[in-house]
Amino acid sequence: MTPRCGAWWTSGDATDAADRVIDRAASTSPAAPRTTSRLPALDGLRAIAVATVVFYHAGFLVPGDLGVQLFFALSGFLITRLLIEEYASSGHVDYRAFVLRRAFRILPAYYAFLAGSYVLDHLAGARWSTGMTVSSLTYLYNYWAAAQGSPVTPLSHTWSLSVEEHFYLLWPLAFLALARKGPRILARGCAGLVVMVMIWRCVLWLQTGDGAIVYNRSDTRIDSILVGCLLACLASNKRMEPGLWASWLPVVTVAALLLVRSALPRGFHYSVGFTVEAVLCAAIIMQLLQLSGTRYWSWLDSTFARWLGTLSYSIYLWHGWGISIARHLPPIAGARLLGGLLLTLGLAACSYYVVERPALALRDRISR
């Protein structure tokens, strides 16, 4: 099945309900108008993104931050498609409803993770500083981490969730202001914001040389999400028609992404590199949406890939504890890795089925 992403300013195919998938996913992306169909491959892409992060933290030589980049681009793409759909069908964006849906999707699992982490750290004799506690509760952990030099804590990975939360609060308002001026202005506005953030990051990098600042802060990293927004604005039926992409092209794009990430200097990575990586991630998303129904890429829409994609938010939250606890297992070949993966999946499944799904059910009852 080939997704259709048509010129969205009119009704019909342009507002084809293709994004109900957002409520099934984890990462960092719940929320907008209710739709009935789904885009193939997106859960598979989430599974790839979270697996990259998990295996990096498990000690494998994989660039885990590229998993976060893929999550960022996916979030921007999906959220903007949903906003485009809502605006095309109603002429406005219900900001309050948008934020409420996000809150039900994201906050319960996040605060359950914070509570669990606090208890586990307390039992281990580790104490949270006031700054770490307050910043994590208020989704400002990324700014605290930037100011503290990116300390290693059980919450280190939540910097990206803070960036996403700030995006969720600000982007619908910016989207509405730009969308009222037409689709071209919306796309140009997205591109302009991407460039502005990239320039700002370059300035900070040249002035400070501080990787913690440019890596963690929302004002220096939100361009990666905005690249996904731009992809949603530019997507069209013509660009997504069957046969446009060769089945080997995603492999080439991934190779280019790995080359950019690993072979170029640190200064490039912390200045324009984040933006270049996000653009390549967006290209991978577009290619795999097109190719997910083909022989070599159909596994992205398999039952297991969809399940992992559904759990990806919870996996991202809890994988650090799963891997950490498994390090206490006997040093038998593969035991700690397997144990860490199983513990991570178990914790994630508990989070999803015990916390997230009841919260979504409550949201649905309230919204009726």
281-325 pLDDT per residue, tens: 999 999 998 888 888 999 999 999 999 999 999 999 999 999 999
Distance between CA atoms of 171 and 190, rounded to whole angstroms?
Answer: 10
Contact 287, 249 (CB under 8 A): yes
Q: What is the pLDDT of residues 210-230, one digit of tens each?
A: 999 999 999 999 999 999 999
pLDDT of residue 244: 60
Q: H or E segment at 49?
A: helix 42-57
Structure tokens at 45: 């892409």
The pLDDT of residue 49 is above 90: yes
pLDDT of residue 40: 79
Q: What is the pLDDT of residues 249-282, one digit of tens each?
A: 999 999 999 999 999 999 999 999 999 999 999 9
Nearest to 347 by CA among 116, 91, 48, 146: 116
The answer to the question of residue 7 being in a domain is no
Nearest to 91 by CA among 217, 176, 187: 176
pLDDT of residue 366: 85
pLDDT of residue 18: 33
The pLDDT of residue 88 is above 60: yes
pLDDT of residue 33: 40
Q: Stretch 84-96: mean pLDDT, rounded? A: 93
Q: How confident is the model at residue 332 (pLDDT cuts 50, 70, 90)?
A: confident
Query: With DSSP H G I counted as helix, E B as strand and the rest as coil, what are the percentages for the chain, rounded to 5?
Result: 75, 0, 25
Distance between CA atoms of 113 and 341, rounded to whole angstroms?
Answer: 17
Per-chain mean pLDDT for the chain = 88
pLDDT of residue 24: 35
Distance between CA atoms of 121 and 101, rounded to whole angstroms?
Answer: 31
Q: What long-range pairs does 59-68 form, CB within 8 A, spacing at least 24?
A: 63/258, 63/261, 63/262, 65/261, 66/257, 66/258, 66/261, 66/277, 66/281, 68/160
The answer to the question of residue 151 being in a domain is yes
Q: H or E segment at 357?
A: helix 357-367
Q: H or E segment at 349?
A: helix 335-350
Domain total for the chain? Answer: 1
User: In the Cβ-directed half-sphere of 356, how many Cα atoms lie within 13 Å?
Assistant: 27
pLDDT of residue 292: 84
Percent of the chain with pLDDT over 70: 87
Q: How confident is the model at residue 4 (pLDDT cuts 50, 70, 90)?
A: very low
pLDDT of residue 7: 30
Of 246 and 140, the one with more pLDDT: 140
The answer to the question of residue 2 being in a domain is no
The answer to the question of residue 262 being in a domain is yes
Distance between CA atoms of 1 and 242, rounded to whole angstroms?
Answer: 9
Distance between CA atoms of 64 and 60, rounded to whole angstroms?
Answer: 9
Nearest to 230 by CA among 359, 347, 79: 79
Could you tell me the pTM of the whole model?
0.87
The pLDDT of residue 122 is above 60: yes
Distance between CA atoms of 22 and 102, rounded to whole angstroms?
Answer: 10
**Structural domain span for residue 55:** 12-367
Distance between CA atoms of 175 and 228, rounded to whole angstroms?
Answer: 13
Of 9 and 228, the one with more pLDDT: 228
Q: How far apart are the first and last CA of the chain?
A: 31
The answer to the question of residue 3 being in a domain is no
- What DSSP letter does each residue of 277-329 carry, written as one string? HHHHHHHHHHHHHHHTTSTTTGGGGSHHHHHHHHHHHHHHHHHHHHHHHHTTS
H helices of 58-182, in order, are 64-90, 95-123, 130-137, 141-148, 159-179
Q: What is the pLDDT of residues 51-72, one digit of tens each?
A: 999 999 999 999 999 999 999 9
pLDDT of residue 240: 52
The pLDDT of residue 6 is above 70: no
The pLDDT of residue 109 is above 80: yes
Q: What is the pLDDT of residues 151-203, one digit of tens each?
A: 999 999 999 999 999 999 999 999 999 999 999 999 999 999 999 999 999 99
